[in-house]
Amino acid sequence: MGQQQFMLIVLGVIVVSVAVAIGISMFSDSSVSTNRDAVISDLVNLAGRAQQFYHRPASMGGGGYSFDLLTAGSISLLTANATNANGSYFIETPGSGSGPNAVVVIKGVGTETIAGLPVAAHVFVYPDRDSVAMLN
């Protein structure tokens, strides 16, 4: 009778261990997904600010229908703090010209990692639209 009880205890330990491992994995996946969604939300917000900057006259501190002033070090024109609890944001590709083909690329790097690499995304900002692309 003692051997059966020992086997049941071993089986119980194995089942609990597997359940804990699955729970940790699910929590990690949820954490990454939540951070990814937050970074995308911040990028879309920055895209809206970049479009406002594009349409604002230069005399009022805007771009005067151009993204040219949005360069690698000028994220401060769009936000007072380029880093928050979700990640860090910077202008990866400086603004190019005016007109419907003008574009600026903003990159967001999250705080969570996937296989050792941080969550990251780009937003391509045009005068009338934006497009988000996940990097990982």
**Angle at 80 (CA atoms; ends 76, 82), nearest 5 degrees:** 70
* pLDDT given at position 1: 61
Give the model confidence (pLDDT) of 12-56 as tens digits. 999 999 988 888 777 666 888 999 999 999 999 999 999 999 999
**pLDDT score of 107 more than 90:** yes
* Spans of all domains in the chain: 2-134
pLDDT tens digits, one per residue of 74-98: 999 999 999 999 999 999 999 988 8
pLDDT score of 22? 84
Beta bridge partners of 134: 121
Does the global pTM surpass 0.85?
Answer: no
Residue 105 confidence (pLDDT): 96
Lookup result for tokens 């879309």: 44
Cα torsion 77, 52, 94, 106: sign: positive
Average of pLDDT values for 58-73?
A: 92
Q: What is the pLDDT of residue 97?
A: 80
